[in-house]
Amino acid sequence: MARHFGLQHHELELKIDILDDLAAMVAGFDEPFGSWTALLAYHLSRFARQRVTVALAGDGGDEVFGGYPRYRGLRISEHLGHVPPTAIALAGRALRVLGEPTTALSLRRWGRQFLDSLALPPGERYAAWVGKGSETARDRPYARETARRIAEVRAPNFIAEAFDRPVFGDLVARAWYADIHGFLPENVLRCTDRMSMAHGLEVRVPFCDHVLLEQMAAAPSSMRVTALASKRVLRAIAGKWLPPAVLQRKKLGFSAPFGAWLKAAEARIVADWLHPDVIKRRGLFDVNGVARIVGEHRRGTRDHALRIWSLIVLEQWQRMYFD
């Protein structure tokens, strides 16, 4: 891309200990945020701030133009209604037996999440994909008192509620609506804003221009995504300026070998942030429940990297603001 447009190109190669910048990242966010993209955004913003004070970001492109694999998953799920539930259940069990490599792009993890959610109503199915698991799975590690208090005040699943809110529209259109009202502002934009401002970097997001959003809101879902293609209208427009190699390239998310980074720090994590004494003193989670998550991840039977990272961030936040 840089050669094509005659631009200066700078590369940042990350070989990091995920715990080194944990405190600074949590302080910059000022609240618990369980996605590891915050760690990547923290390092990328620090790198960019060495050269510029204002930057452009592509945040919103996947939401506006239908770039996430989960949109294509919705299209595929529409065609699986005739598949016997027993066949889907058998396929899900087979994936669980194979285990889940703790890599950034685990097809087994995606496949298991996809199959496990097919029995759910579309809104709950989509919420499970966005939330990386069902509410039941997320509640399992809670201590008994925590679970009781949450049950008393639990509000409706806001992702499923937003998905079901439009009075018309297919599954992709409803997912688009839910993301525009939830995932984009509460996850993507919040992460970029907090982590960039932690380094004094101003980031602009042209894909979130309100006129563009209004235009795409009226566009049919087929202009965004089909079962075999994504970002269709954006690829058609960008084809005037971008080389074919870029247009035909598979999607590369803002991801990293986080599973490997987590494994490298595993001994320190278990001995400190997730030590049984620490879990018991906080009282929010069940000691055995947390140990099960860590054990399954260590053995490779289930990829719990995101859940473990969320627990680490929450513990660090409590140390900084409560202790």
> What phi and psi values does residue 207 have, to the nearest 5 degrees?
-70, -10
Provide the phi-psi class of 202: left if phi over 0, else alpha when psi is between -120 and 50, else beta: beta
Q: How far apart are CA 247 and CA 237, in angstroms?
A: 10
Q: Cα–Cα distances in Å, from 68 out to 59, 144, 184, 202?
A: 12, 36, 12, 26
Q: CB neighbours (10 Å) of residue 271?
A: 10
* Weakly modelled stretches of the chain, pLDDT under 70: 81-82, 84-85, 87-89, 91-110
What pLDDT score was predicted for residue 280?
96
- Tens of pLDDT along 111-170? 777 777 777 889 998 998 888 777 777 888 999 999 999 888 877 789 999 999 998 889
Helices H / strands E in the chain, number of each: 21, 2
Q: Cα–Cα distances in Å, from 134 out to 86, 114, 140, 306?
A: 20, 11, 10, 14
Residue at 72: amino acid letter: R
Residue in this structure with the two tokens 């989509």, named with its chain if needed: 126
Q: How far apart are CA 40 and CA 154, in angstroms?
A: 31
Say if residues 63 and 183 touch (Cβ distance below 8 Å).
yes
DSSP 8-state assignment for residue 154 = P
Q: CB neighbours (10 Å) of residue 171?
A: 19
Per-residue tokens: 286: 């069940």
What pLDDT score was predicted for residue 107?
65
Task: Dihedral sign for Cα 115, 120, 122, 124, please.
Answer: negative
What pLDDT score was predicted for residue 286?
96
What pLDDT score was predicted for residue 106?
62
Q: How far apart are CA 195 and CA 204, in angstroms?
A: 13
What pLDDT score was predicted for residue 105?
56
The whole-angstrom distance between residue 190's C-alpha and the CA centroid of its chain comes to 13
- Radius of gyration for the alpha carbons in the chain, expressed in angstroms and rounded: 21
> What phi and psi values does residue 175 have, to the nearest 5 degrees?
-65, -40
What pLDDT score was predicted for residue 92?
67
User: Can you tell me whether residue 215 is helix, strand or coil?
Assistant: helix
Say if residues 273 and 105 touch (Cβ distance below 8 Å).
no
Q: How far apart are CA 263 and CA 265, in angstroms?
A: 5
